[in-house]
Structure 1
Amino acid sequence: MQPETALQQAAVSAVIDIPLAEAWRKLEDFSSAHNYVPRLTATDIVSEQKRGEGAHRRVYTGKSYLEETVVEWLEGRGFTIRLHKGEKPMPPFREAYFIYALSEEGDGSTRADLALQFAMPWGRLGSWLGGRITGPMSKQLVQVAAGMKHFYETGTPATNADRKRLAGAVSTAPASD
């Protein structure tokens, strides 16, 4: 049996100027990703379960979609979703997960930590390539976090201009190799 490769990661965080309980109410609405993730045009929950472990959605960019299934649910604090298409992981990854984590920041604010964890195929070459793509992934995560900040604070869907304006409020974490 081949040992599992450690997951690589790109991560960011942003402070959202709303209380944790309010941020959680918005995050647990599993149907709202298209309001803050760049290029998403719709979100459709395809499982009977609307929240919690096992909830399954499709996120669309035009007519194409990616599937996301909750694999871990931490009530009031966040969740982890597996990114896939059918039973196969999101290409080009061998496995891929998106993590949303919320924590109290003080003064009625919430810290949102977002991470994309992944394992590449192709052994050492894949690990090396994975290390090279964490920078571009972090830039995409900055856009997601900035859009999330805008949507959570205002209740209106984020535009590219909103994400650009708020990108400076997002901090990046060192990439893990």
Structure 2
Amino acid sequence: MSDSLGCSVGVTLDMPLADAWALLADFSLAHHYVPGLTRTEIVSAASSGLGARRRVYTGDKFLEETIIDWREGQGFTLRLHQGEKPMPPFRRAEFDYRLSPEGADRTRATLALPFVMPLGVFGRLLGRNLILPVMKKQLVAVAAGMKHFYETGTPATDEDRKRLAGAVDVYPASN
């Protein structure tokens, strides 16, 4: 995305790549590790792969996520939107999941959130100073929750995310 800002994090999962991919490819599991989500609903005919669409709920409100890039066994990229409009306040927002092996029994999960702000230079300034810090904190919580859920099979709690936040590496923001 040109004019994009973004942040990314990484965490090591104590499981083989194939097992991590089996969980990641199940597009219905996000609410088990993403903070604040109460349920996930697949709303497309396809339940995974390019074009699959889901709604992730926080109470009665939802955000739509559509897979726009599918890398079998390695990850995918989601477009975050509400109907045909991008997730507010963004002109465009995506969420990228990448998996890579770290030996036979460990997998590196890298999560990235690139986005484009409206309002040109002013929007970029707001994005860099106000949105990026919030996004970094959210990505750390998602990665920590993912580590807990993938390794234990039980939904992550805020306490689990807090306990595992130190295992998450935060990479320099892109801008």
Aligned length: 174
Residue identity in the other structure for 1:142? V
Structure-to-structure mapping, 1:115-126, within 5 angstroms = 115-126=112-123
State whether structure 2 residue 147 is matched by structure 1 residue 149: yes
Residue identity in the other structure for 1:145? A
CA distance in 1, matches of 2:71, 2:94: 15
State whether structure 2 residue 70 is matched by structure 1 residue 69: no
* % identical aligned pairs: 61
What residue is the counterpart of 1:18 in the other structure? 15
Give the gaps of 5 or more residues in structure 2. none
CA distance in 2, matches of 1:81, 1:73: 9
TM-score (norm 2): 0.97
What residue is the counterpart of 2:82 in the other structure? 85
Residue identity in the other structure for 2:168? V
Cα distance, 1:129 vs structure 2: 1.2
State whether structure 2 residue 146 is matched by structure 1 residue 171: no
CA distance in 1, matches of 2:57, 2:134: 21
Choose the corresponding residue for 1:103, options 93, 100, 103: 100
Cα distance, 1:130 vs structure 2: 1.3
The root-mean-square deviation of aligned C-alpha atoms, in Å, is 0.9
CA distance in 2, matches of 1:50, 1:23: 17
CA distance in 2, matches of 1:109, 1:151: 15
Residue identity in the other structure for 1:146? A
Cα distance, 1:107 vs structure 2: 4.4
CA distance in 1, matches of 2:109, 2:70: 15
CA contact (8 A) 1:11 1:172 kept: yes
Residue identity in the other structure for 2:72? E
Give the gaps of 5 or more residues in structure 1. none
CA contact (8 A) 1:82 1:97 kept: yes
CA contact (8 A) 1:131 1:176 kept: no
**Regions of 4+ moved over 2 Å:** none
Cα distance, 1:5 vs structure 2: 4.0
CA distance in 2, matches of 1:5, 1:172: 22
TM-score (norm 1): 0.96
Residue identity in the other structure for 2:110? D
CA contact (8 A) 1:135 1:175 kept: no
CA deviations over 1:126-171 (Å, ceiling 9, x no partner): 1111111212211110000000000000000000110010000001
CA deviations over 1:94-132 (Å, ceiling 9, x no partner): 000000000001141000000111000000011111111
State whether structure 2 residue 149 is matched by structure 1 residue 140: no
CA distance in 2, matches of 1:5, 1:115: 15
What residue is the counterpart of 2:156 in the other structure? 158
